[in-house]
Amino acid sequence: MAEPEVEAAWRAEFERSGVKELRDALSGDGFTDELKRQAALRRLGDEVEARRLREEKTYHYVRGTLLIVVAAVIAGLIAVGLAQLR
């Protein structure tokens, strides 16, 4: 593992270049320094994990909203049915 200052500089460089450019550099011969290559792989792993967490959070939000809508429709149908009985 590289020195913390060097790794921080690499991470800043990776942030500026973006995920697509980082993947392209990793798939080709973009990194001659093995330590920098390993740091890039860790950075991509962090990005994948962050994306997974965002997607999971969105999924739970959508699922919860859908359940609330279904419950509201059922409650509305019950209310209409009770009104028809009177």
Which pLDDT score is estimated for 61? 96
CB atoms within 10 A of CB 81: 9
CA 29 to chain centre: 27
Which pLDDT score is estimated for 77? 97
Structural domain for 46, as ranges: 4-85
Which pLDDT score is estimated for 1? 66
Which pLDDT score is estimated for 47? 87
> What is the pLDDT tens value at each position of the chain, 86 positions in all?
678 888 888 888 888 888 778 887 787 777 777 888 888 888 888 888 999 999 999 999 999 999 999 999 999 999 999 999 98
Domain tally, the chain:
1
